[in-house]
Amino acid sequence: MYSYIVRRFALGAITVLGVSVIVFLIMRVMPGDPLTAIFGPEGMTKLTEAQRLSYMKELGLADPLPVQYLNWLGDIARGELGRSFFRAESVGEMVLRRGPLTAQIAILSVILSWILGIPVAIVSALRPNTIADNTARITSITCLAVPGFWLGMLIVLGLLFWFGYRAPQTAAGASIFEEPWTLFQMIIGPAVVLALGQAAYIARMARSSLLEVIREDYVRTARAKGLNARLVVRIHALPNALLPVITLSGILLGFVLAGSIPVERAFGTPGLGYAMYTAVNERDIFVMQNLVFLYAVVFVMLNILVDIIIAWLDPRIRYQ
Protein backbone atom coordinates (compact mmCIF):
# COMPACT_ATOMS: atom_id res chain seq x y z
CA MET A 1 0.00 0.00 0.00
CA TYR A 2 2.76 2.47 0.93
CA SER A 3 4.73 1.68 -2.20
CA TYR A 4 1.55 2.28 -4.20
CA ILE A 5 1.03 5.68 -2.58
CA VAL A 6 4.65 6.67 -3.16
CA ARG A 7 4.51 5.58 -6.79
CA ARG A 8 1.25 7.45 -7.34
CA PHE A 9 2.68 10.65 -5.86
CA ALA A 10 5.86 10.36 -7.93
CA LEU A 11 3.78 10.10 -11.10
CA GLY A 12 1.68 13.00 -9.84
CA ALA A 13 4.79 15.14 -9.39
CA ILE A 14 5.80 14.50 -13.01
CA THR A 15 2.31 15.44 -14.15
CA VAL A 16 2.39 18.66 -12.12
CA LEU A 17 5.73 19.57 -13.72
CA GLY A 18 4.32 18.86 -17.19
CA VAL A 19 1.25 20.92 -16.34
CA SER A 20 3.43 23.86 -15.33
CA VAL A 21 5.26 23.72 -18.67
CA ILE A 22 1.96 23.69 -20.56
CA VAL A 23 0.55 26.62 -18.56
CA PHE A 24 3.73 28.57 -19.18
CA LEU A 25 3.69 27.75 -22.90
CA ILE A 26 0.08 28.86 -23.25
CA MET A 27 0.55 32.09 -21.34
CA ARG A 28 3.95 33.23 -22.60
CA VAL A 29 4.95 31.52 -25.78
CA MET A 30 1.74 31.43 -27.74
CA PRO A 31 1.59 34.08 -30.47
CA GLY A 32 -0.25 36.59 -28.27
CA ASP A 33 2.11 39.12 -26.66
CA PRO A 34 1.47 39.38 -22.87
CA LEU A 35 1.43 43.16 -23.11
CA THR A 36 -1.16 43.01 -25.88
CA ALA A 37 -3.21 40.81 -23.60
CA ILE A 38 -2.99 43.41 -20.82
CA PHE A 39 -3.37 46.64 -22.79
CA GLY A 40 -5.45 45.36 -25.68
CA PRO A 41 -4.52 45.75 -29.36
CA GLU A 42 -5.45 49.47 -29.41
CA GLY A 43 -3.54 50.23 -26.20
CA MET A 44 -0.48 48.52 -27.64
CA THR A 45 -0.20 50.96 -30.54
CA LYS A 46 -0.21 53.90 -28.10
CA LEU A 47 2.81 52.61 -26.14
CA THR A 48 6.22 53.89 -27.18
CA GLU A 49 9.06 51.44 -27.63
CA ALA A 50 10.75 52.70 -24.43
CA GLN A 51 7.54 52.30 -22.41
CA ARG A 52 7.11 48.84 -23.79
CA LEU A 53 10.62 47.83 -22.76
CA SER A 54 10.27 49.28 -19.26
CA TYR A 55 6.99 47.44 -18.74
CA MET A 56 8.57 44.22 -19.97
CA LYS A 57 11.46 44.67 -17.55
CA GLU A 58 9.20 45.55 -14.63
CA LEU A 59 7.06 42.46 -15.19
CA GLY A 60 10.08 40.21 -15.63
CA LEU A 61 9.17 39.58 -19.23
CA ALA A 62 12.50 40.78 -20.64
CA ASP A 63 14.44 37.70 -19.47
CA PRO A 64 14.88 34.72 -21.78
CA LEU A 65 11.89 32.33 -21.59
CA PRO A 66 13.64 29.47 -19.74
CA VAL A 67 14.79 31.96 -17.08
CA GLN A 68 11.25 33.30 -16.77
CA TYR A 69 9.96 29.76 -16.39
CA LEU A 70 12.48 28.89 -13.67
CA ASN A 71 11.72 32.16 -11.86
CA TRP A 72 8.06 31.28 -11.90
CA LEU A 73 8.72 27.78 -10.54
CA GLY A 74 10.87 29.36 -7.80
CA ASP A 75 8.04 31.72 -6.89
CA ILE A 76 5.59 28.85 -6.65
CA ALA A 77 8.01 26.82 -4.53
CA ARG A 78 8.26 29.76 -2.15
CA GLY A 79 4.48 29.95 -2.07
CA GLU A 80 4.31 33.28 -3.91
CA LEU A 81 1.62 33.11 -6.51
CA GLY A 82 2.26 36.53 -7.97
CA ARG A 83 0.28 39.71 -7.88
CA SER A 84 -2.64 40.97 -9.86
CA PHE A 85 -1.86 43.61 -12.45
CA PHE A 86 -4.90 45.63 -11.38
CA ARG A 87 -5.39 44.96 -7.67
CA ALA A 88 -3.34 45.30 -4.51
CA GLU A 89 -4.22 41.83 -3.22
CA SER A 90 -1.74 39.07 -4.06
CA VAL A 91 -2.97 35.91 -5.71
CA GLY A 92 -2.06 33.92 -2.61
CA GLU A 93 -4.24 36.10 -0.37
CA MET A 94 -7.04 35.96 -2.90
CA VAL A 95 -6.93 32.16 -3.00
CA LEU A 96 -7.03 31.98 0.80
CA ARG A 97 -9.97 34.38 0.98
CA ARG A 98 -12.04 33.09 -1.92
CA GLY A 99 -10.92 29.48 -2.14
CA PRO A 100 -12.90 28.10 0.83
CA LEU A 101 -16.21 29.21 -0.69
CA THR A 102 -15.52 27.38 -3.96
CA ALA A 103 -14.23 24.34 -2.06
CA GLN A 104 -17.43 24.23 0.01
CA ILE A 105 -19.53 24.49 -3.14
CA ALA A 106 -17.55 21.64 -4.70
CA ILE A 107 -17.83 19.37 -1.65
CA LEU A 108 -21.55 20.02 -1.22
CA SER A 109 -22.16 19.39 -4.92
CA VAL A 110 -20.31 16.06 -4.81
CA ILE A 111 -22.37 14.97 -1.77
CA LEU A 112 -25.60 16.05 -3.46
CA SER A 113 -24.67 14.27 -6.68
CA TRP A 114 -24.29 10.97 -4.79
CA ILE A 115 -27.53 11.52 -2.88
CA LEU A 116 -29.35 12.17 -6.15
CA GLY A 117 -27.55 9.75 -8.46
CA ILE A 118 -27.19 6.53 -6.47
CA PRO A 119 -30.86 5.89 -5.52
CA VAL A 120 -31.87 6.61 -9.10
CA ALA A 121 -29.26 4.13 -10.32
CA ILE A 122 -30.43 1.44 -7.88
CA VAL A 123 -34.05 1.77 -9.00
CA SER A 124 -33.01 1.75 -12.69
CA ALA A 125 -30.71 -1.24 -12.33
CA LEU A 126 -33.14 -3.36 -10.32
CA ARG A 127 -35.97 -2.69 -12.76
CA PRO A 128 -34.25 -2.17 -16.12
CA ASN A 129 -36.32 -0.97 -19.08
CA THR A 130 -39.37 -0.09 -16.99
CA ILE A 131 -41.06 3.30 -16.90
CA ALA A 132 -38.95 4.31 -13.89
CA ASP A 133 -35.73 3.37 -15.67
CA ASN A 134 -36.66 5.21 -18.85
CA THR A 135 -37.74 8.31 -16.92
CA ALA A 136 -34.41 8.28 -15.11
CA ARG A 137 -32.55 7.88 -18.40
CA ILE A 138 -34.36 10.76 -20.09
CA THR A 139 -33.91 12.99 -17.03
CA SER A 140 -30.20 12.32 -16.90
CA ILE A 141 -29.77 12.94 -20.63
CA THR A 142 -31.58 16.26 -20.22
CA CYS A 143 -29.47 17.21 -17.20
CA LEU A 144 -26.34 16.70 -19.30
CA ALA A 145 -27.63 19.00 -22.04
CA VAL A 146 -28.63 21.94 -19.82
CA PRO A 147 -25.75 24.40 -19.39
CA GLY A 148 -25.26 24.86 -15.61
CA PHE A 149 -24.74 28.59 -15.76
CA TRP A 150 -28.02 29.09 -17.60
CA LEU A 151 -29.88 26.95 -15.06
CA GLY A 152 -28.25 29.12 -12.38
CA MET A 153 -29.49 32.30 -14.04
CA LEU A 154 -33.01 30.82 -14.25
CA ILE A 155 -32.94 29.86 -10.56
CA VAL A 156 -31.78 33.32 -9.48
CA LEU A 157 -34.39 34.94 -11.71
CA GLY A 158 -37.19 32.60 -10.65
CA LEU A 159 -36.55 33.04 -6.92
CA LEU A 160 -36.46 36.80 -7.34
CA PHE A 161 -39.54 36.89 -9.54
CA TRP A 162 -41.83 34.63 -7.53
CA PHE A 163 -40.52 34.92 -3.98
CA GLY A 164 -38.62 38.20 -4.04
CA TYR A 165 -35.67 36.25 -2.63
CA ARG A 166 -32.04 36.93 -3.37
CA ALA A 167 -29.23 34.92 -1.77
CA PRO A 168 -26.83 37.02 0.33
CA GLN A 169 -23.47 37.52 -1.39
CA THR A 170 -20.92 39.02 0.97
CA ALA A 171 -17.49 39.58 -0.52
CA ALA A 172 -15.83 38.37 2.67
CA GLY A 173 -17.64 35.03 2.52
CA ALA A 174 -19.26 33.53 5.61
CA SER A 175 -17.73 31.26 8.20
CA ILE A 176 -19.28 27.83 8.50
CA PHE A 177 -19.17 28.11 12.31
CA GLU A 178 -20.34 31.67 12.82
CA GLU A 179 -22.93 32.17 10.09
CA PRO A 180 -23.82 28.71 8.81
CA TRP A 181 -27.21 29.85 7.49
CA THR A 182 -25.75 32.68 5.39
CA LEU A 183 -23.08 30.34 4.06
CA PHE A 184 -25.70 27.73 3.20
CA GLN A 185 -27.72 30.25 1.23
CA MET A 186 -24.60 31.32 -0.66
CA ILE A 187 -23.46 27.86 -1.67
CA ILE A 188 -26.64 25.84 -2.09
CA GLY A 189 -27.59 27.31 -5.47
CA PRO A 190 -24.27 26.71 -7.27
CA ALA A 191 -23.93 23.34 -5.52
CA VAL A 192 -27.33 22.10 -6.73
CA VAL A 193 -26.66 23.23 -10.30
CA LEU A 194 -23.25 21.57 -10.36
CA ALA A 195 -24.63 18.44 -8.67
CA LEU A 196 -27.27 17.84 -11.36
CA GLY A 197 -24.74 17.37 -14.15
CA GLN A 198 -22.58 15.09 -12.00
CA ALA A 199 -25.57 13.13 -10.77
CA ALA A 200 -26.53 12.36 -14.36
CA TYR A 201 -23.12 10.84 -15.08
CA ILE A 202 -23.07 9.03 -11.73
CA ALA A 203 -26.54 7.56 -12.19
CA ARG A 204 -25.58 6.30 -15.65
CA MET A 205 -22.31 4.76 -14.48
CA ALA A 206 -23.75 3.27 -11.26
CA ARG A 207 -26.64 1.72 -13.20
CA SER A 208 -24.44 -0.11 -15.70
CA SER A 209 -21.99 -1.11 -12.97
CA LEU A 210 -24.79 -2.48 -10.77
CA LEU A 211 -26.29 -4.37 -13.70
CA GLU A 212 -22.93 -6.05 -14.21
CA VAL A 213 -22.41 -6.89 -10.54
CA ILE A 214 -25.91 -8.31 -10.09
CA ARG A 215 -25.04 -11.05 -12.60
CA GLU A 216 -21.99 -12.15 -10.56
CA ASP A 217 -21.89 -15.55 -8.88
CA TYR A 218 -21.55 -14.22 -5.34
CA VAL A 219 -24.79 -12.26 -5.73
CA ARG A 220 -26.55 -15.39 -6.93
CA THR A 221 -25.09 -17.35 -4.00
CA ALA A 222 -26.31 -14.73 -1.55
CA ARG A 223 -29.79 -14.94 -3.04
CA ALA A 224 -29.70 -18.73 -3.10
CA LYS A 225 -28.92 -18.94 0.58
CA GLY A 226 -32.13 -17.01 1.15
CA LEU A 227 -30.83 -13.54 1.94
CA ASN A 228 -33.40 -10.79 1.66
CA ALA A 229 -33.15 -9.14 -1.80
CA ARG A 230 -32.72 -5.72 -0.26
CA LEU A 231 -29.82 -6.91 1.89
CA VAL A 232 -28.19 -8.61 -1.10
CA VAL A 233 -28.07 -5.28 -2.88
CA ARG A 234 -26.96 -3.33 0.15
CA ILE A 235 -24.30 -5.69 1.47
CA HIS A 236 -23.01 -7.58 -1.57
CA ALA A 237 -23.83 -5.76 -4.80
CA LEU A 238 -23.66 -2.07 -3.99
CA PRO A 239 -20.19 -1.83 -2.38
CA ASN A 240 -18.61 -3.56 -5.37
CA ALA A 241 -20.65 -1.63 -7.90
CA LEU A 242 -19.65 1.71 -6.38
CA LEU A 243 -15.89 1.36 -6.97
CA PRO A 244 -15.98 2.64 -10.56
CA VAL A 245 -18.40 5.35 -9.44
CA ILE A 246 -15.81 6.67 -6.97
CA THR A 247 -13.26 6.92 -9.79
CA LEU A 248 -15.81 8.68 -11.97
CA SER A 249 -16.61 11.07 -9.15
CA GLY A 250 -12.92 12.03 -9.06
CA ILE A 251 -12.86 12.70 -12.79
CA LEU A 252 -16.06 14.73 -12.44
CA LEU A 253 -14.29 17.02 -9.97
CA GLY A 254 -12.71 18.60 -13.05
CA PHE A 255 -16.24 19.23 -14.29
CA VAL A 256 -17.05 20.90 -10.94
CA LEU A 257 -13.89 23.02 -10.80
CA ALA A 258 -14.34 24.28 -14.36
CA GLY A 259 -18.13 24.47 -14.14
CA SER A 260 -17.99 26.60 -11.02
CA ILE A 261 -16.50 29.47 -13.04
CA PRO A 262 -19.56 30.30 -15.17
CA VAL A 263 -21.93 29.07 -12.42
CA GLU A 264 -20.42 31.41 -9.80
CA ARG A 265 -20.68 34.19 -12.36
CA ALA A 266 -24.37 33.37 -12.87
CA PHE A 267 -25.11 33.37 -9.13
CA GLY A 268 -22.73 36.23 -8.35
CA THR A 269 -20.98 34.04 -5.76
CA PRO A 270 -17.69 35.66 -4.72
CA GLY A 271 -15.60 32.48 -4.91
CA LEU A 272 -12.44 31.55 -6.76
CA GLY A 273 -14.39 30.81 -9.95
CA TYR A 274 -15.61 34.39 -9.99
CA ALA A 275 -12.01 35.55 -9.52
CA MET A 276 -11.05 33.51 -12.56
CA TYR A 277 -13.86 35.15 -14.54
CA THR A 278 -12.61 38.60 -13.49
CA ALA A 279 -9.01 37.71 -14.34
CA VAL A 280 -9.89 36.42 -17.78
CA ASN A 281 -11.96 39.50 -18.52
CA GLU A 282 -9.28 41.92 -17.35
CA ARG A 283 -6.74 39.87 -19.33
CA ASP A 284 -4.73 39.66 -16.13
CA ILE A 285 -2.27 37.05 -17.38
CA PHE A 286 -0.29 36.65 -14.16
CA VAL A 287 -3.35 35.91 -12.06
CA MET A 288 -4.67 33.67 -14.80
CA GLN A 289 -1.39 31.78 -15.15
CA ASN A 290 -1.28 31.01 -11.43
CA LEU A 291 -4.97 30.22 -11.07
CA VAL A 292 -4.96 27.86 -14.06
CA PHE A 293 -1.93 26.12 -12.64
CA LEU A 294 -3.53 25.92 -9.20
CA TYR A 295 -6.75 24.45 -10.59
CA ALA A 296 -4.83 21.84 -12.58
CA VAL A 297 -2.73 20.89 -9.54
CA VAL A 298 -5.80 20.61 -7.33
CA PHE A 299 -7.44 18.42 -9.99
CA VAL A 300 -4.37 16.16 -10.24
CA MET A 301 -4.07 15.90 -6.43
CA LEU A 302 -7.75 15.06 -5.97
CA ASN A 303 -7.43 12.31 -8.55
CA ILE A 304 -4.41 10.86 -6.74
CA LEU A 305 -6.49 10.93 -3.56
CA VAL A 306 -9.31 9.10 -5.33
CA ASP A 307 -6.86 6.49 -6.67
CA ILE A 308 -5.52 5.91 -3.16
CA ILE A 309 -9.03 5.55 -1.76
CA ILE A 310 -9.81 3.01 -4.49
CA ALA A 311 -6.61 1.09 -3.78
CA TRP A 312 -7.46 1.08 -0.08
CA LEU A 313 -10.94 -0.25 -0.79
CA ASP A 314 -9.92 -2.72 -3.50
CA PRO A 315 -6.89 -4.96 -2.85
CA ARG A 316 -6.86 -6.12 -6.49
CA ILE A 317 -5.56 -2.70 -7.52
CA ARG A 318 -3.13 -2.38 -4.62
CA TYR A 319 -1.24 -5.56 -5.53
CA GLN A 320 -1.08 -5.00 -9.28
Partner 1 sequence: MTASPESASGVEPTAAGSGGSMPHRTWRGLRHFARRSPLSAFWGGVAVVIVAMAVAAPAIAPFDPLKSDFRRMQKPPDEINWFGSDQIGRDTLSRVIHGSRTSLTVAMSAVLLGTTLGCFWGLASGYLGGRFDIISQRLIEFVQAFPDLILAMAIAMALGSGTVTVIIAIAITRIPFGGRVIRSVVLSLKEMPFVEAARSVGASRTRIMLRHILPQCIAPFLILATTHLGVAIIIEASLGFLGVGIPPPAPTWGNMLADALNAGIVPPWWLVLFPGVAITITVLAFNLLGDGIRDMLDPRLRGSL
Under the rule (CB under 8 A), what is the footprint of partner 1? 14-16, 18-19, 21-23, 26-27, 30-32, 36-37, 41, 141-142, 144-147, 149-151, 153-154, 157, 160-161, 208, 254-255, 257-259, 261-262, 265-266, 276-277, 280-281, 283, 285, 288, 292, 295-296, 299-300
SS3 199: helix
**Residue 269 — φ and ψ, nearest 5°?**
-75, 125
Cα–Cα nearest to 274, from 177, 193, 173: 173
**10 vs 22, beta carbon nearer partner 1:** 22
DSSP 26: I
Task: Provide, rounded to whole angstroms, the least separation between the CB of residue 15 and partner 1.
Answer: 6
CB of 18 to partner 1, least distance (A): 4
Closest CA to 263 of 253, 252, 274: 274
CB nearer to partner 1: pick between 18 and 239: 18
Least CB distance to partner 1 at residue 139 (A): 12
Nearer to partner 1, 210 or 266 (CB): 266
Q: Which is nearer to partner 1, 222 or 295 (CB)?
A: 295
Q: How far apart are CA 62 and CA 139, in angstroms?
A: 54
Shortest approach of partner 1 to residue 158 CB, angstroms? Answer: 9
Dihedral (C-alpha) 141, 146, 152, 157: value to the nearest 10 degrees?
A: -110
Give least dist CB 305 to partner 1, A.
14
Whole-angstrom Cα distance, residue 192 to residue 169?
17
Distance CA 48, CA 3 (A): 58
Residue placing its CB nearer to partner 1 in the complex, 12 or 60: 12
Query: Smallest gap, in angstroms, from Cβ of residue 134 to partner 1?
Result: 10
Rounded Cα gap, residues 50 and 209, in angstroms: 64
The three-class DSSP label of residue 306 is: helix
Asked if 3 and 9 touch (Cβ cutoff 8 Å), the reply is: no
Cβ within 8 Å of residue 61, ≥6 positions away: 28, 34, 35, 55, 68
The minimum distance between CB 150 and partner 1, in angstroms, equals 4
Which of 232, 222, 284, 262 lies closest to 94 in space, CA to CA? 284
| Cβ 231 to partner 1 shortest distance, Å | 28
